[in-house]
A and B are shown apart, each in its own frame.
Chain A
């Protein structure tokens, strides 16, 4: 059809608690010399001082959809604002949505999958969560939203690293990893990060699911069992350091019950069985499963089956060929609330061909 319908405008969602550094990051994105024009959607009571031509206030109205899916909520204001913005032909190249500190990122993300018009014109590039290294343990202890924002993230800016000791930083990293083992962490001060590292991620793009290497398979820096690789510049590790903050907050994260579960299986799967199982799982547990991703080895198929899910919204497709000599495996990562790892494992392995 037309150009407008084939080039979808990328959307970056910025979440994070008040004071974490979201607005600083937003202004960095807007003021850096990249020649791109952004439309910025902010909460109507949001922080002021955004330097941009096109700033739209939104109400953060979360609407339930009448489609029999209890977790299927969307941001009604975003649907309206995005369709209004599309009337400004060629006025901008990308959209940034800044949420309030208390926002649940779920409805924001789902808006870009549930509404056909929004989906036809935009593409969710990432949910980027900014967290404050100093105050995150407290936030995780007192706020369910802070946990959800990390759980939903495609990438995390661990900001204000200059305000904590190396040991505190390790503890915070470990907390993040327990909740979200997939999102890369950018360590920043004053939200300074190269923009090409955080924009254009394709965080919901099936083609970009190249590998799933959950970080919790590798214990965090400074924790027992951590395997050093070229990415670790910290060799002054302290295996026995324990931080009181860390312990206290861990318990609260446990109360929120959100964590990541990674499952790997070496035997080829039955394509129909695994599809049915995933559909049923998301139907039953969708409200509790925030994000899921997977790469699957399906018997009789030379290509990798990849999927990603936001609550009950599941997208899957065959992707590239397995390469000759490449070890074949199936791996799924679920990030969710009160996940029953044993049941997930049994269901997954029950899909063996």
Chain B
């Protein structure tokens, strides 16, 4: 199944009901149905960021119109509701925690927190520089932000606090917690990853990338983390007390003619998918080593990628508005 949405595909997700949803550069959110797709004009500008709602149903999107919107399908109808609005700001990042029910988003230098179960709850945490990304820890109690010269850790519910700063010089653009909460990983403006062991603030430097790392994904119950930014998908081992410290990464699906720009995987399984800058998509089972070249046609660079929880389906989107859903066969 392929679509031409004629707008940059910012994000693709499978929600808890297994429904495929896309968020686009024209501000719309599309939910797939048996007949095709249904559309909501969720934003007046472009969708910049998206994540699953804490309930697992539907998508939360952040737009360059300053709005945070929840779009879901209820009883066959598509519904969208405004969760928050910061006038005149771009919502560069959104995150949500199924465990705590909290929603976090970045607008300029501010991290905003909302509670999906309590409309009155609101927190705002201000940074010295802009916040590029936000991520909840596995329990949904702490939020990490990617900013200039490091990451900041905030307790999501406490109003007045000083953040714990995990320092590392340079501009951090992505953050992701390991599923056991022991490590916070970041991708930087330079072609490198960084990581901190949160308990003792030990640094993990993970370099050697030929390109910027734009996408991170943990899989296999947190034993592995996959990243983009190379000619293949880069796999870092996280088993053992020190995680990837002092260990080498593996690269799979190497292809000298293209770069992996998006990765996605099954959090509890061994399926990994990669989207390439020449429009191709593959998926692999890291246990068997089998690689399936699912989209061999070249095209615009892949900009969005998702794998269903059981690893059987994959959704992709590209910079020109091409999108599709494929059976992985894995």
Contacts and interface: CB of A to CB of B under 8 A. Distances in A.
Interface of A: 1-2, 4-5, 56-57, 59, 61, 63-67, 74, 76-77, 79-81, 84, 86-89, 115-117
Nearest to B277: A1
B55 interface: no
Given A59-B108, A63-B189, A89 B130 contact: no
B327 to A, nearest CB: 26
13 contacts: A2-B299, A57-B89, A59-B108, A59-B130, A66-B170, A74-B189, A80-B92, A81-B90, A84-B90, A87-B10, A87-B46, A89-B26, A116-B212
Nearest to A1: B278
Contacts of A67: 190
Contacts, number: 82
Interface string B264-280: 00000000000000100
B193 to A, nearest CB: 12
Nearest to B190: A66
Interface in B180-219: 188-190, 192, 211-212
A61 B47 contact: no
Given A88-B8, A89-B320, A76 B92 contact: no
Nearest to A74: B189
Contacts of B170: 63-66
A61 B8 contact: no
Nearest to A57: B88
Interface residues of B, number: 37
Nearest to A2: B300
Interface in B272-309: 278, 299-301
A63 B171 contact: yes
A31 to B, nearest CB: 22
A2 B319 contact: yes
Contact of A59 (B46, B109, B189): B109
Contacts of B301: 1-2, 5
A87 B48 contact: yes
Given A80-B130, A87-B47, A2 B320 contact: yes
Interface string B29-50: 0000000000000000111100
A56 B148 contact: no
B135 interface: no
Contacts of B169: 64, 66
A74 B129 CA distance: 14
B64 interface: yes
Interface of B: 6-8, 10, 25-26, 45-48, 64, 88-90, 92, 108-109, 129-130, 132, 148, 169-171, 188-190, 192, 211-212, 278, 299-301, 319-321
A76 B7 contact: no
Contact of B129 (A61, A66, A88): A61
Contact of B6 (A57, A64, A81, A89): A89
B190 A65 contact: yes
A110 B299 CA distance: 30
B7 A89 contact: yes
* Chain B interface, >50% SS class: loop
Closest 5 CB pairs of A and B: A87-B25, A87-B46, A87-B8, A66-B170, A2-B300
Contacts of B92: 80, 84
A193 to B, nearest CB: 31
Contact of B320 (A4, A64, A76, A88): A4
Given A63-B148, A66-B192, A76-B189, 16 more contacts: A2-B299, A4-B319, A56-B64, A59-B108, A63-B170, A64-B169, A64-B170, A66-B170, A66-B190, A80-B92, A80-B130, A87-B47, A88-B25, A88-B45, A89-B6, A89-B7
Contacts of A87: 8, 10, 25, 46-48
Given A4-B319, A79-B189, A87-B8, A56 B90 contact: yes
A80 B132 contact: yes
Contacts of B64: 56, 84, 88
A63 B132 CA distance: 13
B153 to A, nearest CB: 21
B195 to A, nearest CB: 15
Contacts of A64: 169-170
Contacts of A77: 130
A2 B171 CA distance: 29
A63 B129 CA distance: 10
A79 B188 CA distance: 13
A93 B284 CA distance: 40
A116 B259 CA distance: 13
B25 A76 contact: no
A116 B64 CA distance: 23
A5 B319 CA distance: 10
Nearest to A63: B171
Nearest to A121: B319
Contacts of A59: 108-109, 129-130
A76 B300 CA distance: 25
A74 B189 CA distance: 10
A117 B45 CA distance: 21
B148 A76 contact: yes
Contacts of B300: 1-2, 4
B189 A115 contact: yes
A87 B317 CA distance: 12
A122 to B, nearest CB: 14
Contacts of B88: 57
Contacts of B132: 80
Contacts of A117: 212
B46 A88 contact: yes
